[in-house]
Structure 1
Amino acid sequence: MTINDRPTGWPGFEDVDAYTMGDAARRCQVGGVIDGLKPQTAGSGFVGRALTARVEYHPNTPLPLGQYGAAALLDRVAPGDVVILDGGARFLSAFGDLAITIIQRRGGVAAVVNAAVRDIEDIDPTFPLFARGVAITSIASHGFITGVGEPVHVEGIKIETGDLVAGCKGGIVAVPAGAADEVRRQSLEIIESDRRVREGLERGESMGSLWQQHKATGGAEPQGR
């Protein structure tokens, strides 16, 4: 999958990968990177608009599975959305193949689960699905989905519905909606600076001189992007 083939739900970021966006967000001192959630499918690159919810967990109170409340979240999914479900980083499955199928069919571009997932063998391998891992035991027997559209905090990063979210094999980048334009501008500057470095290397210029030019434009130290 090339960068232009990634699921995207935010115009203007078609040519910006999550690695570059993370660098740009750090420059702008906005948002943050979530390193602990990794792709569970082959699909990893995406960019879109956050739709948030969380799981309220009661470990000592068994709950009927019919009270999990996933429909309240899944019925809100619109084209371009990235579903962000905060399961409190518990290694219990919060989503399975049915939920992911609904998200995908409603035009969602990715799902990010701060918990585990299940049924991975039956999920479209091209759909970007991020989680803490794969588990059999469901969180639904002791928890329910609530707070649809309310802010969540994942690894200390605040994510609100409508925020810019991107993913890659390295993890997740979240940027407040109001900072998206500035992060895009910074991202394009980084991409252009990297392009000049690559062209210089092809011409046989030294890495030292190119690095000085790269720093002069505010670029991060070249790492082979």
Structure 2
Amino acid sequence: MTLPVKSVIYAKVNRPDPTLLARAAKFGVADLHEGLGEIAGRMCLMSPAMMPIAPGQKMCGPAITAWNFPGDNLGIHAALYTAEAGDVLVLTNGGGHQGALWGDVACTFAQKRGLSGTVVHGATRDVDAIRDLGYPVWSTAISPEHPKKRGPAAANVPVVVDGVLVEPGDVIVGDSDGVLVIPQGLLDLAVTRAEVRAAAEVEFRRRIGDGEVLFDILGMRSLVADLGIEIKDCTWTDDRQV
């Protein structure tokens, strides 16, 4: 017996602490990615296929998720219905280009509602109109292909987007470097480490301005010695002739 697939919309989302979210919004993807650490940072970073529609885009906000059947975008309208100002829509149909998930009409509504941005694991269309709106969108594909609205679909459930698990309320950060997903349980850690990293980089820039060499500022001389790497005061062709 084949069981029917039942669509579902969860109207409520557990959002992160607003103060912590405001601290996170001060940083870009690179700082927060580093703040998550080597393992979590890689697991939470979407691939380079997730591209910004326009240069200079930035966003930071809690995830409102939507799973859509391939060729269908019913789920994105359910997500839009539940989203609040500051939220980020995270949409997927598994990453296929069939049936555009996002377009300029939905984008106009999202902008009117005060959303921070949209992440599309699938196709976006009406790209020129979206750029004119100035609303931040990241997408893995561009295609005008017509979507159906029949489902099945789900809103505000865990989804896998471009290989990364996204749970409703996770913090989504995007800029020209890409898109990062920060689980709520790791948000404090990521932000605190990003703040330390940012302060260190201010000092690095000061020392560069004072004329110091980056190789020494970063302690590379000691690292090279520890790794047993030889620095030879000659060209490689001179070395071959010895």
Identify the TM-score tier after normalising by the shorter chain. 0.7 to 0.9
Distance 2:112 2:87 in 1: 12
- What is the aligned partner in structure 1 of residue 45 from structure 2? 33
Paired residues of 2:61 and 2:86 also in contact (CA < 8 A)? yes
Which runs of 5 or more structure 1 residues have no equivalent in the other structure?
1-8, 217-225
DSSP 3-state at the match of 1:190: helix
The answer on whether the counterparts of 1:19 and 1:168 sit within 8 Å (CA) in structure 2 is no
- For residues 215 and 125 of structure 2, the distance between their equivalents in structure 1, rounded to whole angstroms, comes to 49
Question: 3-state DSSP class of the match of 1:193?
Answer: helix
Residue 140 in 1 paired to residue 131 in 2?
A: no
**Is 1:53–1:145's contact at 8 Å kept on the other side of the alignment?**
no
Of 59, 84, 103, the residue aligned with 1:46 is 59
Report runs of 4+ in structure 1 exceeding 6 Å deviation.
none
Q: In the alignment, is residue 163 of structure 1 matched against residue 163 of structure 2? A: no
Equivalent residues in 2 for 1:49-198, closer than 5 Å: 49-57=62-70, 68=74, 70-92=76-98, 93-123=100-130, 124-140=132-148, 144=151, 146-198=153-205
Matched-pair contact (CA < 8 Å) for 2:34–2:194: yes
Structure 2 contact 66–76 (Cα < 8 Å) conserved = no
Q: What residue in structure 2 maps to residue 13 of structure 1? A: 24
Superposed displacement of residue 48, structure 1 = 0.9
Distance in 1 separating the partners of 2:166 and 2:138: 15
1:173-200 Cα distance to aligned partner (Å, 9 max, x none): 0010111111000111111111111100
State which structure, 1 or 2, has the greater radius of gyration over its C-alpha atoms: 2
Root-mean-square deviation (Å) = 2.5
Check 1:153–1:47 CA distance in 2 against 1; reply closer, same or farther (3 A cut).
Answer: same
Are the equivalent residues in 1 in contact too, given 2:121–2:162 (CA < 8 A)?
no
Where structure 2 has 5 or more consecutive residues not aligned to the other structure, the ranges are 1-19, 224-242
Residues paired across the two proteins, number: 199
How many Å apart are 1:170 and its aligned residue?
Answer: 2.3
Find the residue that maps to 1:95 and give its secondary structure: coil
Name the CA distance, whole Å, in 2 between partners of 1:195 and 1:73. Answer: 40
Q: How far 1:132 sits from its partner (Å)?
A: 1.5
Q: SS of the residue aligned with 1:51? A: strand
| Percent of pairs with identical residues | 22
Cα distance in 1, alignment partners of residues 40 and 75 from structure 2: 36
| 1:17 positional shift | 0.8
Q: Deviations over 1:110-152 (max 9, x none)?
A: 00010011112222442110112321112327x6362201001
Give the TM-score, by structure 1 length. 0.80
